[in-house]
């Protein structure tokens, strides 16, 4: 194993018995051949369960909705990308020429996927309990810093609750535009409340982010009335 990967293993707190698994976890599909796409699928599932289990134990009185929001904040793309940067994963990724030219080693989506893939590689190289230990070690400070009372609901949830409190039907969301290359698209979504005859637009790097932005704009409009 090359020294840089040894450094990565020390940061992870895990030494691979089969280094080829780590190499595959760091290989983006743009390279071709064996890549980390299937590892992402497995790693996402393992991470979601371990974090859910940890939150269930940590917050005994939290509701299902509160636990779901806490889990989402920990396993979302931005959080995983931040963890990846702390591990300096971008220095170890294997990317195709196009992704290298476009700065793929710094893109949140690629970094987040690599974190999930590495967790799957650790699981395949060892067992569940070992993978759980690594995950909890990586997320230790994030888990310790959680405040259930300070956890904010996302704009779509707040808009939904705002409308339900006024006995108004839920809004609809429609993608009205998609621009940019496939690896760097920008989505524009329209949020519309038929009952209030109100609509707002929002943009983001994914449909989910665009919907959240549109919901936030709608909330602001309703609060300003």
Nearest one of 60, 51, 59 to 140, comparing CA atoms: 51
Choose the catalytic residue: 44, 99, 125, 211.
44
User: What gap in Å lies between CA 76 and CA 154, rounded to an integer?
Assistant: 13
Active site residue 37: no
DSSP class of 27: B
| Per-position DSSP letters for 130-174, written without gaps between them | HHHHHHHHHTHHHHHT--TTTPPPPHHHHHHHHHHHTT-PPPEEE
Say if residue 194 carries a ligand binding annotation. Answer: no
* The token pair that represents 96 in the structure block: 């195709």
* The token pair that represents 65 in the structure block: 């909705």
Say if residue 15 carries a ligand binding annotation. Answer: no
Active site residue 44: yes
How many helices (H) and strands (E) the chain has is answered by 11, 3
DSSP class of 183: G
Choose the catalytic residue: 99, 116, 125, 211.
116
Q: Residue 210 in contact with residue 188, Cβ under 8 Å? A: yes
Say if residue 181 carries a ligand binding annotation. Answer: no
Q: Residue 89 in contact with residue 115, Cβ under 8 Å? A: yes
Binding site residue list for Mg(2+) = 40, 113, 116
- Which residues belong to the active site? 44, 116
Binding site residue list = 40, 113, 116
């Amino acid at each position: 194993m090359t020294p840089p990967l040894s450094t990565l293993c020390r940061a992870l707190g895990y030494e691979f018995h089969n280094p080829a698994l780590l190499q595959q976890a760091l290989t983006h599909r743009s390279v071709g051949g064996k890549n980390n796409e299937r590892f992402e699928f497995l790693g996402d599932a393992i991470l979601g369960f371990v974090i859910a289990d940890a939150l269930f134990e940590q917050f005994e009185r939290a509701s299902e909705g509160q636990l779901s929001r806490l889990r989402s904040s920990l396993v979302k793309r931005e959080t995983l990308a931040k963890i990846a940067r702390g591990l300096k994963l971008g220095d170890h990724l294997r990317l195709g020429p196009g992704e290298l030219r476009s700065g793929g080693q710094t893109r949140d989506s690629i970094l987040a996927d690599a974190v999930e893939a590495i967790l799957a590689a650790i699981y395949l190289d060892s067992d569940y309990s070992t993978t759980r230990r690594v995950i909890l070690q990586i997320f230790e400070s994030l888990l310790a810093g959680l405040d259930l009372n300070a956890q904010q609901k996302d704009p779509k949830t707040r808009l939904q609750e705002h409308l339900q409190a006024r006995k108004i039907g839920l809004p609809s969301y429609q993608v009205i535009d998609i621009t940019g290359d496939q690896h760097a698209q920008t989505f524009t979504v329209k949020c519309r409340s038929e009952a209030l005859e109100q609509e707002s637009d929002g943009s983001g790097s994914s449909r989910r982010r665009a919907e959240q932005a549109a919901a936030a704009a709608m909330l602001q409009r309703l609060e300003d009335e």
